[in-house]
Structure 1
């Protein structure tokens, strides 16, 4: 998800806590806990500073988004608020765990995916059923904030907001799973990418060297948008020798389209194809 959404996750998690018996410093500690927990996995963006091998595509949302690092991040946050706010209640550790878990798990549901099981698996886990920026999330957050302003027990409102988010993800996931299975029976490989409009999906398939991109929904007929031919027999050794990001992209993507032209050799992720190119496109000029 984007930074704004992760911040809203942290604020809504803070809002869902019953703070009626907390002192001012305890409330501040809880706010820092949920906000830092909702952002800390994305600290991996600094890896771009020392990336000389073109590995940033794998490093970003890699090990820092692993389910196995959740307790380590939570322990770090707990130590931070304990030092800053002189709190010792272990509930801050559990709130930190929940914040980091929500961040890492939420990112699995969009097309970018995460290294959810690193370091035991370098596979990029992605469901593609929630867009990177989900305006349904934002709408739920906004409604919860407006309603909570008029309520005495505000944390109850935010807990209903979390329930609404869960239902939204469940509905999107069920539709995505149905579409995925319906295409998987006829194609070698399938990938999903959710549209900004709920219930709408881009379904990308690959069979042999043909990549097809469909617009589909459980409520409408499938529409073929683009059909591409991947030059899978091309020798990509010169590309990988000269452009390290290309090798990383091939490892990162579910599958790629290979471009072998007179003046260009490259590959791109078809999930982000816009009719002319993909913003995840690595190539060399020949």
Structure 2
């Protein structure tokens, strides 16, 4: 998910806590833990400042997003709460753990995926059933916020209810995505799914050998072919990887890639992010660099 959504998730967790009998410093500790833990896995973005091996794409959403690291992040915020606010509250660990778990798990549902099982597996898990920015989440949480302003006493109840609707939305989106994915399995060897910004709509990327097709699909209308692409599968990529290590990272990180080998350049791109004739995840070198 995007940073705004992760922040909203943290604020929604904080709002769901009954704070009637809390002191100001305790509320601050809860706010820091809920919002900070909802953001902490994305601390890996700083790796791009020293990455000189083209590994950033693999590092981002890598080990810091591991489900096995969630209690470590939670303990960090328990410690910070004590150092900054002198608060000792065992419930802070549960709140922090839940916040990190929601961050890591929600990222599983995007097309980008996450290293959820690192360091035991470097496979990038992705379901592709929720868009990177899901405005349905914003609407649900915005509705809970408005309701809580009108009736502050029931504020935590409204936000707990919002979490129920968020979970329901994820289930409905994911079940539909799974059903659509299954419709392509008999015809294509490789398939990737990417949810659209409009609820219940999906982009399906399907590949057989060198042929790649991108469809717009949902359960209620016929699929629409958007693009037909050709991958230069016979291309020797060793030269590309030697000159452009980012390309090797992209090749390993993506479910599958489209290989480009024309008169001007050699490269690979992720077709899940293909729009208007190009993918913004495209790594290549000019042909002159291969000599």
1:285 and 2:273 correspond:
no
Q: Kindly indicate whether the alpha-carbon contact (under 8 Å) linking 1:66 and 1:118 is maintained by their aligned counterparts in 2.
A: yes
- Could you say which residue in structure 2 is the equivalent of 1:272? 273
Paired with 2:114 and 2:228, the residues of 1 have a C-alpha distance of: 28
Alpha-carbon offset, residue 185 of structure 1? 1.9
Q: TM-score scaled by structure 2?
A: 0.97
Q: Name the SS of the counterpart of 1:226 in structure 2.
A: strand
Paired with 1:141 and 1:73, the residues of 2 have a C-alpha distance of: 25
Paired with 1:278 and 1:24, the residues of 2 have a C-alpha distance of: 49
Alpha-carbon offset, residue 208 of structure 1? 1.2
Paired with 2:82 and 2:167, the residues of 1 have a C-alpha distance of: 31
Note the residue ranges of structure 1 that are not aligned, 5 or more in a row: none
Paired with 1:148 and 1:95, the residues of 2 have a C-alpha distance of: 21
- Could you say which residue in structure 1 is the equivalent of 2:218? 217
Paired with 2:11 and 2:279, the residues of 1 have a C-alpha distance of: 34
Residue correspondence of structure 1 range 56-75 to structure 2 within 5 A = 56-75=56-75
Alpha-carbon offset, residue 275 of structure 1? 3.1
Paired with 1:32 and 1:100, the residues of 2 have a C-alpha distance of: 13
Alpha-carbon offset, residue 153 of structure 1? 2.0
- Could you say which residue in structure 2 is the equivalent of 1:51? 51
In the alignment of these two chains, the number of paired residues is: 286
Paired with 1:153 and 1:142, the residues of 2 have a C-alpha distance of: 15
- Could you say which residue in structure 2 is the equivalent of 1:244? 245
Q: Name the SS of the counterpart of 2:266 in structure 1.
A: strand
Q: RMSD across aligned C-alpha pairs, in angstroms?
A: 0.7
- Could you say which residue in structure 2 is the equivalent of 1:164? 165
Q: Name the SS of the counterpart of 1:92 in structure 2.
A: helix
Q: TM-score scaled by structure 1?
A: 0.99
Runs of 4+ in 1 over 2 A off after TM superposition: none
Paired with 2:15 and 2:220, the residues of 1 have a C-alpha distance of: 35
Paired with 1:153 and 1:201, the residues of 2 have a C-alpha distance of: 37
Alpha-carbon offset, residue 24 of structure 1? 1.4
1:259 and 2:260 correspond:
yes
